[in-house]
Amino acid sequence: MVQKEIRKDKSLLKIFNCIANGWPKSSKDLPLDVVPFFNRHKTIIIVDNCLMTLDIVIIPAIFQIRILKQLHRGHQGIQRMKSIARSYVYWPKIDTDIENNHVKQCQNCASVAKSPTKTELSSWPVPHEPLERIHIDIGGPVRGKYYLVMVDSYSNWPKVAQITTITTTEIINQLHEFVSRYGQP
Ligand SMILES: [Zn+2]
């Protein structure tokens, strides 16, 4: 649906043009409706004829209300709605839209806002092949050593590396080694 409608969205069509012809150096040279996208323009790519910023779908105007309604389902309150939105969908002013779209007046959402945030248990999506996703964590110390544990989510195959320091450099080195040996997750 997004693929189809995005071609009718005048603002988003201009983004396709920017990607094809190159973005201007300054947002001043952009049409006004494209300016809000400028600060993230380096992350915007075309995937299957849709626009994405990182792994978030840019939603054509025609679907925005619908998405807001969907995000509002379950009445999790404004903050939670925003954080769910941030993982999946984007359009300029989405945060303001979330605030204004009935949520402020919504009794159910208001009661959520008063109670402390509950951590929701949710499962990771089931991977379809090896190295689709790896999970990593640091264990230890055990006799002064730490262990970087990397687990392939598909096979549960673990790779454990003994490390002496838990610094970013050390973790990056270990991940480099992992990727060069087993491939890119
Ligand atoms: Zn609500």
Whether 13 and 39 share a structural domain: yes
109 to each of 57, 89, 95, how far by Cα in Å? 25, 20, 15
pLDDT score for 105: 78
Whether 157 and 140 share a structural domain: yes
- Output the CA 75–ligand 1 centroid distance in Å: 4
Mean pLDDT along residues 61-66 = 95
Q: What is the mean pLDDT of the chain?
A: 90
Confidence of residue 121 (pLDDT cuts 50, 70, 90): low
- Output the CA 140–ligand 1 centroid distance in Å: 43
Confidence of residue 115 (pLDDT cuts 50, 70, 90): low
Specify if 123 maps to a domain.
Answer: no
Whether 51 and 26 share a structural domain: yes
- Output the CA 51–ligand 1 centroid distance in Å: 29
- Output the CA 5–ligand 1 centroid distance in Å: 28
The helix (run of H) or strand (run of E) holding residue 160 is: strand 158-163
- Output the CA 180–ligand 1 centroid distance in Å: 47
pLDDT score for 33: 94
- Output the CA 101–ligand 1 centroid distance in Å: 9
- Residue at a domain's end among 21, 39, 58: 58
The residue range of the domain holding 44 is 2-58
- Output the CA 65–ligand 1 centroid distance in Å: 14
Specify if 125 maps to a domain.
Answer: no
pTM: 0.60
Ion ligand 1: residues, Cβ under 5 Å: 75, 106, 108-109
- Output the CA 72–ligand 1 centroid distance in Å: 6
Write the CB contacts of 127 (distance below 8 Å, at least 6 apart in sequence).
133, 153, 154
Contact 89, 59 (CB under 8 A): yes
- Output the CA 74–ligand 1 centroid distance in Å: 7
pLDDT by residue (tens digit) across 8-47?
999 999 999 999 999 999 999 999 999 999 999 999 999 9
pLDDT score for 116: 63
